[in-house]
A = this chain, B = another copy of it.
Amino acid sequence: MSGTSSEGHPLAKGKLRHPLHLSPGRFTRPGAAPGILARPAGLEHLPATLCLLDYDATDITERADCSLDEARAFFDSPRNTWLHVQGTPNESMLQSVADAYQLHPLALEDVLHTGQRAKAEVYDGQIFVIASVPEARNDQIEIAQLSVFLGDTWVVSFCSGDRDPFEAIRKRTQQKDSRIRRNGVDFLFYALLDTAVDHVFPTLESLGERIEALELTVFDDPSREALNEIHLLKRELLLVRRALWPQRDMLNGLIRDEHKQIGGNARLFLRDCYDHSVHALDLVESYREMASSLLEIYLTSLSNRMNDIMKVLTVIATVFIPLSFVTGLYGMNFDRAVSPWNMPELGMRFGYPVLLLFIITVVVGMLIYFRRRRWF
């Protein structure tokens, strides 16, 4: 009966993957002063790495993995400057950057307390944007926070997590004839957001593949592992959706409102970026419906199975229970003396062993049958 004991078995339990933590974000203590740069406790801080690009159409300087002091030299550069901070900066580093570019304290607070909703704010002529960079890692979805400040000739970006999503952007910037070089920082700003938005597609593709794999499983074998997997899927879709909705609104706001820092050309490209984010949301909603469908199929398959099981029981029981009554009724004490037709088997030499053999055959046959139908 080992197969049916799925809910008591430690191994079966071990197979269930733990759902993602849907934390409420790192909230500030109620009553705490706003805009105070204190890193939320209980988070391991990755050492932040800085990367600086200073470029115009003709020339470019890159400082990868540089120190804050190295970077500082470029803070007043008349050329386009892009300072990218990967990982969680410590307070002093953040404060230095903030002082150099007059970043608003409320924005800095949002940079530190990652897990914010995507949004676009304007502080003293600077545009501040928060976006989400989802990534599927080991079948777990992680969502890094991208915070970007856009000034007149500079972009400062912060990305939480340990993976820099902007390697490709840097390569493109190195190319002299690339659009980024030929345009202002607003185009770089667009390129960063576009990269963040496009990061969701590989994630969605892996989710789509998992849904399709589950569809085949669930029809044939509605196991507890499949139920757990459906549950995880729904959870992850919820997570991705929560990240994408505000992002779409943020992009829409950037396009709709006339910001002097964002030129007509960059706005055109941002519209394309917005289209991508709408497309991604469309997919998420479709996937959510499909995951709900999966659960319905799962339940229906369970009911189907139950029907099958009950049919077997009912056929066997309704056939043999009345017959047992009949044999019980006559006690099978037919008078063998009266007629040779009355139960001659009882007088045979090997009657009993043959019967035993028959019984054992039936038991073994049935067990094989049930095993094949995966009943235990």
Contact = CB atoms under 8 A, between A and B. Distances in A.
Interface of A: 1, 4-8, 13, 16, 19, 21-25, 27-35, 106, 116-117, 119, 121, 123, 165-169, 172, 178-179, 194-195, 198-199, 201-202, 204-205, 208, 212, 215, 219-222, 224, 227-228, 231, 234-235, 238, 242, 246, 268-269, 271-272, 275-276, 278-280, 282-283, 286-287, 289-290, 293, 295-335, 338-339, 341-343, 345-353, 355, 358-359, 362-363, 366-367, 369-370, 372-376
B308 A4 contact: yes
Interface of A is mostly: helix
Contacts of A351: 330, 334-335, 339, 341-342
Contacts of A220: 7, 13
A240 to B, nearest CB: 12
A327 B348 CA distance: 16
Given A319-B363, A322-B320, A352-B341, A313 B314 contact: yes
Considering residues A4, A296, A300, A315, which has the most beta carbons from chain B within 10 angstroms of its beta carbon?
A315
Given A172-B33, A342-B352, A351-B334, A268 B123 contact: yes
A177 to B, nearest CB: 11
A194 B4 CA distance: 54
Considering residues A116, A228, A322, A351, which has the most beta carbons from chain B within 10 angstroms of its beta carbon?
A322
Copy number of this protein in the oligomer?
A: 5
A2 to B, nearest CB: 11
A214 to B, nearest CB: 11
A346 B332 CA distance: 8
28 contacts: A4-B311, A4-B312, A5-B373, A7-B305, A8-B374, A13-B220, A23-B208, A24-B208, A25-B283, A28-B198, A30-B165, A34-B269, A106-B269, A117-B275, A238-B289, A312-B318, A313-B318, A315-B375, A316-B317, A318-B366, A319-B366, A320-B322, A323-B325, A328-B332, A330-B346, A331-B332, A338-B349, A339-B348
Nearest to A192: B31
Contacts of A286: 22, 238, 242
A330 B348 contact: no
